[in-house]
Structures are given as C-alpha cells and as structure tokens.
Amino acid sequence: MTKLWDKGIGVNQQIESFTVGNDHVIDQELVYYDCIASKAHVSVLEQAGLVSSEESEELKTELNAIIQLHSKGAFPITREQEDCHTAIEEHLTKKLGDLGQKIHTARSRNDQVLTALRLYYRDKLQQIDTLRNQFMESIDHFVGSYGEIPYPGYTHMQKAMPSSFGLWGGAFIESMRDNGILLAAVSEIIDQSPLGTAAGYGVPLDIDRNVSAQELDFPRVQENPIYAQQSRGKFESLLIHLLSQISADLNKLASDLILFNMTEFGFIDLPEEFCTGSSIMPQKKNPDVLELMRAKHHVIKSLEYQISSMTSNLISGYNRDLQLTKESVMKALAITIECLEISVLLFKELKVNEDQCRKAMSKELFATAEAYELVKQGVPFREAYQQVAKGFTKGS
C-alpha cells in the first residue's frame, strides 16, 4: 500500500513530487494528534458496532505504540506515503492486517486532517497564551525597575509631552491583555469537532459524533459537514490574524527600542550578548534581534493574506488548494512563539539609561502643561494655547 487513494495506476513521478510537496516532513508535527484523534474515532466505530471491543482495544494499543515511536523520533513518513495519515494507516495494516483496513470506516482524510490540525492548534494556542502571560509579567518586572524614569513622549516623531517607561511598558501590557480576549474567542470558534464530517458531506452510516468529540475534549460538535470544509481557510485566517495582532505589538515594541537604542537617544542599553557586529565596521553593535522581530510581523501578516487570497473565489467543498494552508499556519505559529520567547528573554536584560532619558526632557515637552497653568488661572484653553505657542515660533 502507498497512498490512501491508490488504486494501482501509478502517478507520474514529477507530478507526485509536485503534489506531495513537503507534507511528509511537516506532518511529523501532526503524528501525535492524528493518533489520539484516531483512537477517538475507534471509540466511535466501536460504539456503532463497526468494530468489536477487542478490535477497538487492538487498534488503540497500536496507535499508542505509534505515539511512543514518534516521541522517540522513530516514526518516519516517506514521500511515497505522502502524509502522516497514510503512514499511520499503513502501520496499522502492517501490524494488524485486515483490522487496520477497518479504521478508515466512517471518516475521510478530510475530516481526519481537520481534526488533527484543530488539536494541534489548540495546543499551540495554549502555549501562546502562556507566553502571552509571561510577556506581560516580564514587562511588569521591567516597569518595576525602571517605570518611574521619564523620557520624551513623541507624536509625529517630534517631542510632544513627558512620558515614562511605566507608561510605555503599560501600553504593551494592556494591548497584550486585549489580545487575550481575541485569543479566547478564536479558541472558542476553532474548538469544535469536525470528526465524522468525512469529505464534507457526512457518511451514510449511523455514528455518534459526540463520542469522539467528548473523548477529544471538544466543547461542541461542528454539525454541518459542508461548514467543516469551509472552515478550512476560514479558521486558519482567523488564527493567523490573532497571531498578527500579537506580532504587530512586537513590531511596535521593536521599532521603539531600535530608535531608543540609537546613540542620538541612548534611552536604553541592549546587553552586548544580544547584539551582532559588522563584517567591515569594527565599532558596530547592531540590534539585529529587534530588527528581525520587527520584520517577522510581516511574514505572519503575509501568511494571513496568502491563506485568505488562496481560499477565495472557490466553490464550497474541499479543494486541494486548501492543503497549502497547513504549512503556512505552522510557520506563523512557530514565528509567533519564537518572537514571544525572545521578548520575554529581552525584558529580563533590558536596562534603561536614566541619565540620557533625563537629559532629553527639554523645555518644549512642558508647553502643554504651561498652557494648562494659564487655564487654571482662568484663561480659556485656546487662548492659552496661542499665548504659549508664541514662545515656540521662529525668531521669538
């Protein structure tokens, strides 16, 4: 046996390489999830009388064995197998004979992929949520050390009014807290069981989809099988949008720190072990890590856009185009996780250069306060504004 759909005709080799792509590589990420989903599916089959309880036991034992193998890096997927789903069914058939051939009853690779991905997304979202909390704590700790230090607040990249590192750090904490609201909603939407929707039109067999949903801790069943397929692309775009909200915050964080790190500002001190040098200029101490964090936001955003564009203008029902979304989501998840980890690390070491900050607190930052002093003395604001403004126009 090679592929699940193989009927013995053979596929042109170049075509095969084109269609399989690197699924057999990236699917290593999904082996565990497909095994636990397959175990839940076996429970469904058992409950429907399509396998006996002994058969169920045997299948689950063998699926556990695959999980064990995989955890030791000993469950390879070959290009001929195409993906983890074929590799797993092939393994079962090799070990259990006819019984292995029964596991695909009442499911399609379509709902199998959907289920494995959702379980995988759920785990990754939990990991991101944990990192989100660590991020807020690490800034909180930074604010504890440096929060009182003032620095110039900018608008239009011009000195505007006094700010402080407490205010600055607090902005990122509040934003990341709001990301938590979005994360919860995204989780709620994604966390529904597609298992049993088969190829998008259900199966003409009497099965109870609640059995697998409960075993896999899905709070609800995704009832409509066409919708299960339509949500491929929809959920991925939603998920990456969430990631892009996080990476947009990190993009701004990095943009601020790169500026503050310029010698013309000198507000912060990046530890030397975070910096890299130049191959030609001996003096350089470059904030590459911040520049890459800034840049990676665009990778994530482009992946959102890619998935959205790729899955539009298509009719409902599975189209192979959807398969390309898998690698893109995985990439976006990995980038977000790595960037959050780096951020947490960064705030443990980041120092504020108080002297430089205080030196930068020049007169114009207090012009608004000056106007408000006049307001307190009864001058209408707009008049006070004009009065103070005179002190800042040329020649005066």
Does position 226 interact with a copy of itself (CB under 8 A)? The reply is: yes
Considering only 2, 79, 122, 227, the residue that binds a copy of itself (CB under 8 A) is 227
Considering only 26, 129, 319, 361, the residue that binds a copy of itself (CB under 8 A) is 319
Does position 182 interact with a copy of itself (CB under 8 A)? The reply is: yes
* Cα distance between residue 52 and residue 76, in whole Å: 30
Residue closer to a copy of itself (CB basis): 64 or 101? 101
Does position 81 interact with a copy of itself (CB under 8 A)? The reply is: no
User: Which positions from 6 to 25 touch a copy of itself by CB under 8 A, shown as an x/- string?
Assistant: xx-xxxx-xx--xx-x----
Considering only 44, 59, 88, 99, the residue that binds a copy of itself (CB under 8 A) is 99
Joined tokens for residue 315: 């009719």
* Cα distance between residue 18 and residue 155, in whole Å: 51
Backbone angles phi, psi at 281, to 5 degrees: -100, 110
Q: Is 298 a catalytic residue?
A: no
Catalytic residue among 156, 279, 362, 396: 156
Q: Taking the CA atoms of the chain, what radius of gyration do you get in angstroms?
A: 28
Least distance CB 29 / a copy of itself (angstroms): 17
Q: Is 156 a catalytic residue?
A: yes
Identify the burial level of 12 via C-beta atoms within 10 angstroms of its C-beta, where 0-12 means exposed, 13-18 middle and 19 or more buried: exposed
In terms of phi and psi (left: phi > 0; alpha: psi -120 to 50; beta: otherwise), the region of 378 is left
Does position 110 interact with a copy of itself (CB under 8 A)? The reply is: yes
Are 256 and 168 in contact, with CB atoms under 8 Å apart?
yes
Does position 377 interact with a copy of itself (CB under 8 A)? The reply is: no
Does position 248 interact with a copy of itself (CB under 8 A)? The reply is: yes
Does position 351 interact with a copy of itself (CB under 8 A)? The reply is: no
Containing 358, the helix (H) or strand (E) segment is helix 354-359
- Which amino acid, 368? T
Least distance CB 252 / a copy of itself (angstroms): 5
Does position 47 interact with a copy of itself (CB under 8 A)? The reply is: no
**Residues 288-317, interacting with a copy of itself (CB under 8 A):** 288-289, 291-292, 294-299, 301-303, 305-306, 308-317
Does position 61 interact with a copy of itself (CB under 8 A)? The reply is: no
Task: Give exposure, 27-45, as e/b (b: 16+ Cβ within 10 Å).
Answer: bebbbbbbbbbbbbbbbbb
Does position 78 interact with a copy of itself (CB under 8 A)? The reply is: no
Does position 245 interact with a copy of itself (CB under 8 A)? The reply is: yes
**Length of the chain in terms of residues written:** 396
Least distance CB 159 / a copy of itself (angstroms): 6
Which residues neighbour 144 within 8 Å (Cβ) at sequence distance 6 or greater?
none
Coil, helix or strand at residue 235: helix
Q: Quick count: other Cβ atoms within 10 Å of Cβ 393?
A: 7
**Residues 264-283, interacting with a copy of itself (CB under 8 A):** 264-265, 272-283
Are 287 and 369 in contact, with CB atoms under 8 Å apart?
no
Does position 263 interact with a copy of itself (CB under 8 A)? The reply is: yes
DSSP state at residue 152: E
Does position 53 interact with a copy of itself (CB under 8 A)? The reply is: no
Which residues neighbour 348 within 8 Å (Cβ) at sequence distance 6 or greater?
138, 141
Does position 104 interact with a copy of itself (CB under 8 A)? The reply is: yes
User: Site size for a copy of itself, by CB under 8 A?
Assistant: 171
**Residues 138-177, interacting with a copy of itself (CB under 8 A):** 153-163, 167-168, 170-175
Containing 335, the helix (H) or strand (E) segment is helix 325-349
Catalytic residue among 17, 71, 278, 309: 278
Of 31-39, 66-74, 109-117, 140-148: span binding a copy of itself (CB under 8 A): 109-117
Are 35 and 63 in contact, with CB atoms under 8 Å apart?
yes
Residues with catalytic function:
156, 278
